[in-house]
């Protein structure tokens, strides 16, 4: 059952941008309030009736979304100055006017849509996957100890939303830091019994420019992560792992046992 309109109007301000190279500009809107509505509901109302607060016709606001269950990570944006998921952000928890902006860490495509290719390229750089030999049925893989599986599952909750990278002061257009999410995935896949086959490659990939040395340990990523992933714990663990890897590279792997 859809809650009835109470007559209340929600005030919204949206930072818009028509093209990738265009200048940003603010537009103000008012949408009818419904109990339990989220930020996505606001954008859908504007999409149905793209008219500004002053009654001027405009174009519908562009944004990304998919699952609407805080699983896919597509609907990330800056809401009242904080990067978060617009599907799980409720209007009743926000102060008005509600200000919506695109994440600044990534290039703007249009309005609230951003290009997160930078993050996906970082995942490619660290080979954030489990390598297998062939496409045929390989049968069951090696089992992980239950204790290790439990904390590895926490790392696997990452939905590549980019919120941690937006919150990190060391990630910017002018910096090469790959960010906390890709680093945490290195720890996850190096822990996997099969993924560990290319553990050395992943560690070497984060030992150079843009890797671990660029982390300032601000802890912003942990505070911002919508899934509560222990990102800085992963980074601390990788600091130790890369130190061992450095000596292995220098002296040879036969001198060191993981």
Q: Work out the percent of the chain whose per-residue pLDDT is above 70.
A: 94
Per-residue confidence (pLDDT) for residue 53, from 0 to 100: 96
Q: What is the pLDDT of residues 23-74, one digit of tens each?
A: 999 999 999 999 999 999 999 999 999 999 999 999 999 999 999 999 999 9
Q: Is residue 258 very low, low, confident or very high in pLDDT (cuts 50, 70, 90)?
A: low
Within-domain flag for 122: yes
Kindly report the CATH number assigned to the domain that includes residue 49. Answer: 3.10.20.30
Q: What is the pLDDT of residues 208-233, one digit of tens each?
A: 899 999 999 999 999 999 999 999 99
Where a domain ends, among 70, 91, 114?
114
What is the extent of the structural domain holding 49?
A: 9-114
Tell me what the pLDDT averaged over the chain comes to. Answer: 92
User: Does 246 lie in the same domain as 124?
Assistant: yes
Q: Does residue 244 register a pLDDT over 70?
A: yes
Within-domain flag for 3: no
The number of angstroms, rounded, from the C-alpha of 106 to the middle of its chain's C-alpha atoms is 11
Contacts of 162 (CB under 8 A, 6+ apart): 73, 76, 83, 103, 105, 106, 114, 116, 119, 181
Per-residue confidence (pLDDT) for residue 147, from 0 to 100: 87
* Helix, strand, coil in percent for the chain, rounding step 5: 35, 15, 50
Distance CA 87, CA 37 (A): 9
Per-residue confidence (pLDDT) for residue 204, from 0 to 100: 96
Q: What is the pLDDT of residues 70-91, one digit of tens each?
A: 999 999 999 999 999 999 999 9
Per-residue confidence (pLDDT) for residue 251, from 0 to 100: 85
Where a domain ends, among 56, 90, 114?
114
Distance CA 167, CA 219 (A): 9
Within-domain flag for 223: yes
Q: What is the pTM of this model?
A: 0.89
Q: Which two tokens stand for residue 35?
A: 């109990």
Q: Does residue 12 register a pLDDT over 70?
A: yes
Where a domain ends, among 58, 86, 114?
114
User: Does 93 lie in the same domain as 166?
Assistant: no
- What is the number of other CB atoms lying within 10 angstroms of the CB of residue 122? 25
Within-domain flag for 4: no
Per-residue confidence (pLDDT) for residue 218, from 0 to 100: 93
Q: Is residue 159 very low, low, confident or very high in pLDDT (cuts 50, 70, 90)?
A: very high
String of b and e for 52-75 (b: at least 16 CB within 10 Å)? eeeeeeeeebbbbbeeeebebbbb
Question: What is the pairing mode between strands 82-85 and 98-101?
Answer: unpaired
Q: What is the pLDDT of residues 165-177, one digit of tens each?
A: 999 999 998 899 9
Q: Is 240 helix (H, G, I), strand (E, B) or coil?
A: helix
Contacts of 32 (CB under 8 A, 6+ apart): 5, 8, 9, 10, 45
Q: What is the pLDDT of residues 90-112, one digit of tens each?
A: 999 999 999 999 999 999 999 99
- In DSSP notation, 109-136 reads EETTEE--HHHHHHHHHTT-S---SSSS
* CB-CB contact of 163 with 70 (8 Å): no
> What are the Cα distances from residue 192, in Å, to 141, 212, 236, 248?
10, 21, 18, 21
User: Does 101 lie in the same domain as 73?
Assistant: yes
Within-domain flag for 135: yes
């Amino acid at each position: 059952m859809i809650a009835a309109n109470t007559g209340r109007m929600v005030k919204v301000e949206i930072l818009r941008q028509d093209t990738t190279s265009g200048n940003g500009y603010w537009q103000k809107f008012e949408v009818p309030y419904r109990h339990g509505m989220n930020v996505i509901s606001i954008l859908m109302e504007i999409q149905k009736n793209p008219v500004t607060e002053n009654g001027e016709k405009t174009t519908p606001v562009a944004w990304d979304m998919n699952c609407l269950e805080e699983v896919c990570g597509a609907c990330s944006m800056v809401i009242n100055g904080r990067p978060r998921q617009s599907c799980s952000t409720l209007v009743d928890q926000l102060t008005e006017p509600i200000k919506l902006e695109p994440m600044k860490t990534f290039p703007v495509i249009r309005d609230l849509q951003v290009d997160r290719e930078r993050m996906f390229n970082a995942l490619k750089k660290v080979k954030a996957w489990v390598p297998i030999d062939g496409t045929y049925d390989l049968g069951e893989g090696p089992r992980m100890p239950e204790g290790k599986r439990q904390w590895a599952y926490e790392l696997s909750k990452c939905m590549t939303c980019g919120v941690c990278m937006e919150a990190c002061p060391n990630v910017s257009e002018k910096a090469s830091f790959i960010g906390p999410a890709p680093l945490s995935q290195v720890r996850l896949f190096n822990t996997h019994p099969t993924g560990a086959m290319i553990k050395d490659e992943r560690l070497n990939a984060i030992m150079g420019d843009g890797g671990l040395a660029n982390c300032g340990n601000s802890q912003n990523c942990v505070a911002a992560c919508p899934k509560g992933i222990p990102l800085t714990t992963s980074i601390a663990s990788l600091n130790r792992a890369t130190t061992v890897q450095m000596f292995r590279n220098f002296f040879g792997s036969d001198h060191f046992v993981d």
